[in-house]
Amino acid sequence: QELSENKLKTCLFEVANLLNTATSGVTNIEYAKINLMAAEKARFISAFDNCSNHASKGISMLPSDKWESHPEMAVRLYSLAAEAERFLGRYSQTEIYCCEVLAQKSISILQKKDVYLAKLDRMANAELRYDDAIRLCLTVLKELG
């Protein structure tokens, strides 16, 4: 059934949760987009567990060629997932999401900025690897020119 954009915004979490419950293992860009919207809304209200859940569900709904067919949506979902996992203290999962984005040659360095920030925060604040964090910053600045 069709929902107007305003109605969808007011009941976004409910719609996303219903879709996620009823569509396990389904590849669907529209459902991934709804999960992206829910993840962004959850992040905005600092509900990082919900943000992580919706971002990871959105990622699972993307097609296998996501980096070629839907790169903007893929990088946004992965970035939200990495950021949420970082806030939740799940650094190994943060690293998995970061590595996936950073491995993509077709994604610009500016599109990767949120992932770099999550990685830098983990290195500097969770692992106290200041020298490595500085080296990564210098590498990114060099790539930016």
Show the tokens assigned to 62.
Answer: 């993307």
Q: Long-range contacts for 45-50 (Cβ within 8 Å, ≥24 apart)?
A: 46/87, 48/83, 48/84, 48/87, 48/88, 49/84, 49/88, 50/13
The per-residue pLDDT string of the chain (145 residues; one tens digit each, 9 = 90 and over) reads 566 676 777 788 888 988 888 777 777 899 999 999 999 999 999 999 999 999 999 999 999 999 999 999 999 999 999 999 999 999 999 999 999 999 999 999 999 999 999 999 889 988 899 999 999 999 999 988 8
**How far apart are the C-alpha atoms of 78 and 99, rounded to whole Å?**
10
The reply to whether the predicted model has a pTM over 0.95 is no
